[in-house]
Every structure is written in structure tokens, then in C-alpha cells.
Structure 1
Amino acid sequence: MDNTSVVQQLKDQLALKEQENQQLQAQLQHLRGWMNSLQQRARANDPHALLVARELYVGGVPEGTTEDDLCSFFNALMTCSGAQLDSGTSVVHCSITRDKGPPYAFIKLRSVQETSNALAFSGIQFRGSTLKVSRPSKYHPDWGVLLGPTSPDPTVNTSMLSIHSGSGSASPLANGGGEAPRKPSNPNRLYISGLPYNWRTQHLQGMLSPFGELKDCVVIVEKMSQKSKGYGFCEFADGAVVPGVIKALHNSLVEGRKITVKRADEDIAPSSASG
């Protein structure tokens, strides 16, 4: 078979794939239209159910935490894990209760889907405490399923976050909102922000690997466009090298951008990701 025939065969295959892709997109759009109409009808029948479906209970809140602290922390988690669907602020309201036992909070997000995605953060380490994230007791799954996804999107990436895998999904509010179990921090994990937007994971690995063996390393990208968000995470096999990495790289310039390097267990503020 000559080169001309091979090229034509490849063109035909690409054209067929494009046609199949267009058919799938049309089917997906049809299903989305049906889902939207179903959700609109459910919201019209019970507007209060929508408000409840956008709310989450957060237990184990450390003493001294403010509403702004918790909102900033969860908004940063939504961004760095890919749980955020659009730019802007995902968590729109937070209320902390302190008068009955250990503090607990309720957070409200802007959409049902982002609320479900935030369930993936149950067990997240925050200021030495493990947060318990769950639906409020007034949430009804039978109605919730009509308003949007009831569980996190499988593409939400929590692999580089300090999450206690033993945390369950049931709300501890029923037993008084007791304090969540503590978990030791991971001193080997770092958060690096301010990276050049053309960097990918291999670039970050190249910068960090001279300091020691890496167990894991990732640059966070936008879910749809796959464009870098300008920050990432890494974990070293030997925690003894971490102080040296921070000392050598924190506030250093990389392709004209000042980067931030700190332990991932420290509070992550959204502004730090902008570099």
C-alpha cells in the first residue's frame, strides 16, 4: 500500500470518528435537555428542596475558625481538586455554631452538582482537625436525586489532599455534632503555587527530583480545557528533605514568576494559587 492510500485511509478513519463524536454529542445534549426539564419541574414543586440540596454539614471545626476561614478553605479545595464547575466562588455562605459542644458549620454552595462534589472532602485535614462533611439531616435523597447528582463526580481529584479515609458519610449531628477524629499531618507533602501556566507535571518533577525521591507529583489542570491552573502538589519519600526544598524554592523565581512552596497541610488560600 503506497503512502497516498495510507493517508486517505487515515483521513477516512478520522472522518468516521468525527461523525461518531457528533452523534454522541447530540445524544448527550438531548439527555441534558431532558435532565434540565426534570430538575426544573422538581424545583418548581418544592423550592425548599433545592436550598437543602445546596447545603452541607461540616463537623469537627477547630476552635477559633471563622466563617471566612472555612469558606476560603473549601473554595480552595473546590478549585485545586477540579470539583469547581465554573470560575468564581463555589461556597457562597457559611454559618458556624459554637454554643452546643464542639463547633460545627453549615456551608451553602452555588449549585447542586458542586455541593455533591464537595462531599469528596469528608475527612480533610484542617488546622489539626479532621472535618466531617455530609448532607444535613433534613436532606431527602428521594427529592435530591431529581435536583442533580447525589455523589461526587468521579473526576474530582483528591489524591494529593490530606483526607482521612475512615470518615463515613453519615452526619454526626444526630449525636450532638461530636468532634471528628484527629489525624497526623503528612510532613512530606508540599503545595507549590505560582507556577508558569505552560508547566505540566513533568516540569514540576524536573524541578523537584534533584532534592529527593518523589512518591507523587502533579500539576493541577482545568477539567475541560486541560490548561494548567498554575499550582500543584508533590510528596517526597523522605520527609527530611522537605525543609530544604521549602528553603531553596519558596519565593524563588521560575520563568519570571515568584512561586510559593509550603507544606500542603497548612491552610490553602485561593489567592496563593494565583502566583
Structure 2
Amino acid sequence: MYVGNLSRDVTEALILELFGQIGPCKSCKMIVDTAGHDPYCFVEFYEHRHATATIAAMNGRKILGKEVKVNWATTPTSQKKDTSSHFHVFVGDLSPEITTDDIKAAFAPFGKISDCRVVKDMATGKSKGYGFVSFFNKWDAENAIQQMGGQWLGGRQIRTNWATRKPAPKTTNETSNSKQLSFDEVVNQSSPSNCTVYCGGVTTGLTEQTMRQTFSPFGQIMEIRVFPDKGYSFVRFNSHEAAAHAIVSVNGTSIEGYVVKCYWGKETTDMVSPIQQQNTVSFAAQPYSQWGQWYSNTAAQQIGQYVPNGWQVPSYGVYGQTWDQQGYNHLHAGAGWTGVGAVSNGGMVEPGQGVNGTVLTNQAGMSAAGYHTH
């Protein structure tokens, strides 16, 4: 673990004594900067669970009058390595047990790898379900994308595509003060049946394609609803876990130059008959407690208004898309998945499913991008 912003009076013995209360420590190495910067140290635990616990227990705690910073340490090789001119491959839909060594071994036959990593949640240390592989040679990267897309790695078929660099976000008070969410915190904020994400804050340039590029790396998207005049959208995934990963990764990041906030969307069947409940879903943002605001039920006179295909929209009005009023199965299919994504971890962004992803199409007995009709 990295422990920074230390007082110059802090010693290795003191760090071992304090951190040893969480779990047995293997070693502690103090780094003193002769240039006048604050010292820092690295603490190694015998067990991963004890290292994980130190972030919650010690980060921000005062030691000899200074609030220390505790986080996962990076390896010296990753700090020195410059791979900006190399060719980066995004690898998505990874099983939770897949490690960096696993994807490196899987992609090694395609050429010399300059860097490889599975992206992890900084708070929990768990995999976010995607990673990156960098090649020295562009042809090797192209070959890996074509050959590895759809292949089984662990218990899942992986997705591959080009990765792009994440643009540096604008420095604002909002970004510096935004709370870092953890997967465990978010996944338990809503019921397991909720797969809808609210994303707000993009006042101009908000499109369905932008949302699809941003959120598609985190799982299969079933439905996207965009409200450009309001500056927010709803993205529905095929699983609760995928939606939770999206909230954790996208919340507080920059989209089209705007810092966005992501919450759980609230799926409800209120105010509809039992027959309509089988075909009706309405979206309303369900924010976290720290924001203290709601984005729904603001216009009582709109209660009871329904789009002819069965979608209930009590607060946001009729969606700005074409709907066929003759029946559920005539809903126009969404646009194909294209492009690359705009959000990731560690300076990378995960792309959309333009190469190996599949487009959800309406099938017999289905409508509204996956909802059963009767």
C-alpha cells in the first residue's frame, strides 16, 4: 500500500505499529525526498483483505497532525513505462477471477506486449471486468482484436476493440470534491432487478451515440433514453452488476466537457393497470443520499399520460423518437453500436461494441428492445 503526505517525524516503526492493528505487515519502506517534499512509504501485508481494509481505515486519518493518503501502490515499472505511442487493445467482459497475467498469457501469441493490466476498483481491489493490452506493433494489435474477439477466457466470451486515450478533464471544484464511489457501495444502493442508470449534467451535445459510446464497455445495453433539453439520459443494462460498474466508473468523469453525475434510475410500475404493468417501465433518477435531490414526479398533471406503446413517462413527457401507434412490435430499433467509448480507468477509455459487439434486435414475441409483449 502507498502511504503519503506523512509528517517528517513519522518512522517506519510507527507505521508498522499503526497498520499492524489492521493485519500482520510484511514490510514497510520509508522514502524521504531530499528535495523538501513530504516523505511517503510503502506497506506490504501478508493478506490482500488486510491491505484492502487499510483504505477505509487509514485514508484521511491524522498521524502526527497530518492527514495521510492511503491507496494501492503501483509498480516501479508501470511508473517509468511510456506506452503512449504504442497500440492499445481494450479487452472487455472479463470474468472476475481473470488477472493481468491471464490476459497477458492469452494475448502473448500475437506479438510483443509492452503493457498489460486488468483495471481494478481502487476502493475494493476487485476487477472492474475489463482491461488493456498494449503492443509495440500495430499489426499485432489488429490481429489480436480480430482473433480474440468472442473467444472464451475463464467463464466468459471476451470483447476486443481499439482503446483510445482519455482526454484530460477540466479542473473544477466539482471534480476535485466529487466522492469516489465503490462497487460494493453502489451495487447495494438499489434492488438486484434494477438495471437502469441515470446520467446527468451534459447541457449541450447530448446524443444517444455519445451515451452508447460511453456506457457500452460496461455491459450489454438494452435501452437508452436521451433528453437533450434537460441534459440527462437513462441507460438500461441487461444486468444489475453491469449498471453498478457503469455508475462507479462514469460518475464524476467528463462527457463532452461536462462533469456528469450518475445515480440509479428507478424502475417502477406505479399508476398502471395489471395488464399495463407487464409492458410498462418508467425511469426516474434515484440519487445517492449525499446529493439530496430527486429528478422525478415534478409535474402532477402529467400523471396518467402514456406513450401509445405502453411506456409510462409521468415526468419527462413523450420521448423525442418515432413510435408506431399500431402495436408494440412496430417500435423502431435503436441505432447500431459504433465508435469507441469515452470513459475508462488509468487514462484509457473503453470502446463500444463496434467490432465484436452485437446489436440488440427485436425478435419474435419481443418489443421495446427486449421487453416481452403479450
Normalising by structure 2, we get a TM-score of 0.26
Question: Rg larger in 1 or in 2?
Answer: 2
Which structure's relative contact order is higher, taking Cα pairs within 8 Å and 6+ residues apart? 1
Give the helix-richer structure, 1 or 2. 1
